[in-house]
Structure 1
């Protein structure tokens, strides 16, 4: 990137036409709010002025601790306009974790909802985003013109905290330079425009939703913002607002497809793009989504907080994306696959312009993941085909061994999900005295199915190596999910251990 670094908080600032809607806020579904671009920008400037009036400036940090609503975006982008660093805090975190994040990022003020204020330390003031009183955001704002902070190449824009599945979450430091490039690259690759309306229900404190917002603002599009995902409300929003772009994990799309009474007879030709990320999607799910949205490109996407989502996209010569591919390398990135049986299979290491600047107060972890030459170890296993398309295989943390064989759960899950009566499957390790671990499968059957354990085991034996077949199949009405909408594998792993111990 050449020339001055753009302030990430100013994304979409060129769109100033009154009535051009930036956000449709469905945090109160009975009272939708439509906020146009001039109003949104004025509120962002008012937040920036309010922060400066209280003595905060470049490098200071503030917390953003609320559910999906336009005020989250006003604080997030307004703070960055002042050079103040917003710290995204998950609303499902315990009070202890919130205290730890505040200390880890040196947060001085937290913008939060009234119902969450009790989780804040006594010595950290809260500004209530849903209150019009003296402690509310409307009072905090100072409306008027504002000259945005000019970042340099190393200026941190915001902190995003990882899920912390293996301990305390890590505060990822993300720069203005990196994420203005990310916003432009993804938005242009996916052709966001002022005519687009994107439905977002994933939590804004998670990278998937926040990257979506960046694309919306860069393209001058409209975001239809739900407080949280609920399948029937999601489908109703598609119907009401004619959203052209949808995104979510496979579970979200599987739940959409179950709302047969709401989708029956609807014409969804207006949907042009559906992005599916966070986990592999089965052939049947892809086919069903494509059938429901006949004019939509169905794109599997891949990215992690530390390296951005601007890694893979379209082929430069408009080549047709193979099924299950997460895309073709975007210009500017470098990739290598290591510790695999060939140069086309292994753990993905990345070097590129969208990289993080570090971890908050955790140089040891940063140095462990990032080498001296700028290569970051993602911990994700991918493969590359002869044409250069990449395919996600699984997390290296999820891979387990059985009698010396490496088992990648995603591969077995895709086999099970090819069965017509299976909606979803998750494969996890269970301890075994002889084989070290063996696969257990948790399966959601389609409504009305009487598919049994023996049929699933036999199908996998016929269509995969013998060591991959699940030694036990557990049927569930639905799979447990984390707060960001991903399948909770750790919970299922614990259940597999419990079931194994009870059988012993």
Structure 2
């Protein structure tokens, strides 16, 4: 790492004319390629331009738009100038966008053309395109701001599944520690070609992009996720390393008929994280990318990305395991019936500095440096960790705890099932009961009763879905995870439409 500043996480002097970013476009013309030297100059030009306009170190600058070279340059340039980069989701409703702008105290917002009308009133608006963007650029030498220890460099907003999104304050140090650990863990990665399609307002995309740049690798940057474009890009640019949310690759696998002729032989590594992973999906992804090593990743915005890794004694990592705790981090399972299952707690240099303007909520999850994740995990005899479910997702069925992810894993082992999502729904005698949304494989004649019978025969009776609905695709939230909130609402609406017959 040549600077403590997160915006200076790559060595432009070393990589120079090598391609840092590829933007495929529509495949009808030559892809747009940006070298490390070009990216570095543009980052500096944005930092200089922001300071020339009167913004100062510590100011918070928003980013609202799809992935692009200009977005990456602005993100890095903001931090190089000593300001705080605040990427936030353009998929949120207007009142929530306005809340974020107020809560963060944004002085300005970089935005792409499609988001011009979504920008909240108040902050200055800076286009990420055309003459407005060019007018900001001030090319020339620039001395990057060197941050103080634990100085905040970026703020990411949580998805807001239980209320308004919370701003997570992240220091340069916390993210640099993760990048440096990744470099030690994986070694030289400069010969790899990554692909990033997750949104840059999410930790999965920001850490993947910075990790690739820090390693001197090339990143194929898609503006957003589209399963067919993603698949075509892998073949066209001979992508070697996929980083994704599991639901993204589930959607790619669903398009098997249309992508069957594509050549994925270049792919050697697939990392899936940020959402629960099932063996059924691992098998589908392995079939798509037979030469690839597949790993299940875990991380949180508050506690940091990838706190797990290989076993120190070389024990083979089970497919569904998150890995073994990384050196330099303290990890405990608490609030469970024993030491090997419970809520995941972590303490280490990757943790957040707190929630913005929310000292009480910060105190509720941070104590003595320990972050309470709210994720339930278990540990096996070799010390490998496994994700069980979100404490918030668990619901009680007649006195028994049900973890949606466990029911989903079971359903996805059925012949003819592609994907499943389980949510709680009202029940006359149990209060709540599982309601399953299922995506079937093409040609499947699966019935609702068949799903119920299978789960009764192969799992605990209290956890079987009382209702099953077949849908074309699992709807995704802004972070490309299943939108459980939306599906919970759909389940309740379906029961109401049926006269709320919840006795089955």
TM-score, normalising length from structure 1?
0.95
Structure-1 residue corresponding to 2:150: 154
Shift of 1:191: 4.3
1:186-227, CA deviations, whole angstroms, 9 ceiling, x for partnerless residues?
344344611111111111111111110111011111110111
Shift of 1:14: 4.8
User: Which structure 2 residues correspond to residues 24-43 of structure 1 after superposition, within 5 A?
Assistant: 24-26=22-24, 30-31=28-29, 32-43=31-42
| Cα displacement (A) at 1:265 | 4.5
Match of 2:268 in 1: 272
Q: CA deviation at 1:117?
A: 2.3
Q: Tell me, what secondary structure is at the counterpart of 1:59?
A: coil
* Equivalent residues in 2 for 1:281-320, closer than 5 Å: 281-320=277-316
Distance 1:341 1:120 in 2: 48
Secondary structure at the counterpart of residue 377 of structure 1:
strand
CA RMSD of aligned residues (A): 1.8
Say if 1:16 and 1:38, in contact at 8 Å, map to a contact too.
no
Question: Is 1:489 the equivalent of 2:487?
Answer: no
**Does the alignment pair 1:144 with 2:140?**
yes
Q: Could you say which residue in structure 2 is the equivalent of 1:398? A: 393
- CA positional deviation for 1:310: 2.7
**1:261-298, CA deviations, whole angstroms, 9 ceiling, x for partnerless residues?**
45435443321111112332332221121122122111
1:322 pairs with 2:328: no
Q: How does 1:43-54 map to 2 (within 5 A)?
A: 43-54=42-53
Report the equivalent of 2:415: 420
How far 1:94 sits from its partner (Å)?
Answer: 2.3
Cα distance between partner residues in 1 of 2:408 and 2:96: 33
In structure 2, the residue matched to 1:454 is 449
Q: Indicate yes or no: 2:211 matched with 1:196.
A: no
Q: For 1:337-393, what per-residue CA distance to the aligned partner results, in whole angstroms no more than 9, with x for missing partners?
A: 11212111011111111000111111111011111x111110110100011100000
Secondary structure of residue in 1 paired with 2:295:
strand
Distance 1:365 1:273 in 2: 38
Distance across 1 between alignment mates of 2:358 and 2:280: 42
Identify the range of structure 1 (300-309 vs 50-59) with the bigger mean alpha-carbon deviation. Answer: 50-59
* 1:5-24 equivalence runs, <5 A: 6-24=4-22
- Provide the residue aligned with 1:348 in structure 2: 344
| Whole-angstrom CA distance in 2 between matches of 1:239 and 1:165 | 36
**Matched residues in 2 for 1:91 and 1:347: separation?**
32
Asked if 1:228 corresponds to 2:228, the answer is no
Q: 2 CA distance for matches of 1:276 and 1:269?
A: 18
Aligned-pair CA distance for 1:50: 0.8
Which position in structure 2 is the counterpart of 1:82?
81
The correspondence for 2:494, drawn from 491, 496, 499, is: 499
- Deviation track 1:445-500 (CA, whole Å, cap 9, x = no partner) reads 11110011121111111211111111111111111111221100011111222223
Query: Which stretches in structure 2 are left out of the alignment for 5+ residues?
Result: none
Match of 1:180 in 2: 176
Other structure's SS at 1:252 match: helix
SS at match of 2:271: strand
| 2:39 is aligned with 1:73 | no
Structure 1 segments, 4+ long, off by >4 Å, are 27-31
Per the TM alignment, residue 122 of structure 1 is displaced from its structure 2 partner at its CA by: 4.1
Query: Which residue in 2 is equivalent to 1:438?
Result: 433
Secondary structure of 1:68's match?
coil
Maintained 8 Å contact 2:425/2:435 = yes
Shift of 1:15: 4.9
Q: 1:254 to 1:191 in 2, by over 3 A?
A: farther
Secondary structure (helix, strand or coil) at the match of 1:378 reads strand
Task: Report what 1:114 is aligned to.
Answer: 113
Q: How far has the Cα of 1:27 moved from its partner? A: 5.5
Distance 1:188 1:30, change over 3 A: farther
Measured after TM superposition, the shift of residue 254 of structure 1 is 1.8
Do the aligned residues in 1 keep the contact of 2:254 with 2:441 (CA within 8 Å)?
A: no
Does the 8 Å CA contact 2:98/2:121 hold for their aligned counterparts? no
Q: Secondary structure at the match of 1:102?
A: helix
Cα distance in 1 for partners of 2:289, 2:186 equals 17
Kept in 2, the 8 Å contact 1:15–1:220? The answer is no
Shift of 1:438: 1.1
Deviations 1:127-181 (A, max 9, x none): 111122xxx1111010011111111112101111111111111010000111111
- The 3-state SS of whatever aligns with 1:326 is coil
The C-alpha deviation readout for 1:71-95, integer Å capped at 9, x for no partner, is: 1110111111111111112111222
Q: Could you tell me whether the CA contact under 8 Å between 2:274 and 2:300 is conserved in 1? A: no
1:63 is aligned to 2:40? no
* CA–CA separation in structure 2 for the residues paired with 1:26 and 1:106: 35
Matching residue within 188, 193, 212 for 1:216: 212
**DSSP 3-state at the match of 1:325:** coil
Task: Say if 2:98 is the partner of 1:99.
Answer: yes
Alignment size in residue pairs = 498
* TM-score of the pair, normalised by structure 2: 0.95
